[in-house]
Amino acid sequence: MAHLKLGVLVSGRGSNLQALIAACADTFYPAEIVLVVANKPDAKGLDRARKAGIVTAVVEHGDFPDRETFDKAVDAHLRDAGVEWVCLAGFMRLLSSWFVETWYDRIINIHPSLLPAFKGIDAHAQAIAAGVKLSGCSVHIVRTEIDAGPILVQAAVPLLPDDTEDSLAERILTVEHQCYPLAVRLIAEGRVRIDGDTAIVAMPPDIGDQIISPLKS
């Protein structure tokens, strides 16, 4: 079976990129990362990619007059590498409508909340302020609206009474590293069907309930 060719966009440390790299190292995993693009030359995710022997590119957003021009430069790198799906892994740039439409239904993102709750960059603080008892993460298909689109995989974690933003973020990150590779696998195995703003997912039989209920893991 041919491997799904991934392009991963990063801005920072790339911990979810590392989770994808680890998954792709398995011969039986149905996807491979063919390119990692960063908008910052000092992004730690670039080091992770290079250590794994993955081709990298730096496209600095400050070198471009507007968002769409920057996105078109990123798009050119993705196409040159033969990318089929785009994974956002801590990519701290809003994508233009042009880019989202060009790669429609072929971009996924991971967000540290149980969407549609707590969108935006301060999701952990929002969850703590709201006093919810569960938070978590969501992998979703990207739309032009921030942190919106069909949801592929979610995992819940408890929000404890003494949680800080950092402690909650660390707990959620653990399940992020499970959910992102799973979401890519579902796509690569043809287990996802997009119906408008809903994803119909056929979960493989070897996946237990630890993703949906990670307290049992």
Positions annotated as catalytic residues are 111
What is the three-class DSSP state of 86? strand
CA pair distance 99, 88, nearest whole angstrom: 13
Give residue for tokens 């709750």. 117
Element at 195 (helix H, strand E)? strand 192-195
The total of other beta-carbon atoms located within 10 Å of residue 206's CB is 5
Give residue for tokens 């966009």. 9
The verdict on whether omega for the bond into residue 116 sits within 30 degrees of 0, i.e. cis, is yes
Phi, psi at 141, each rounded to 5°: -75, 135
Element at 178 (helix H, strand E)? helix 165-188
What is the three-class DSSP state of 97? helix
Nearest-CA neighbor of 105 among 130, 142, 80, 70?
Answer: 142
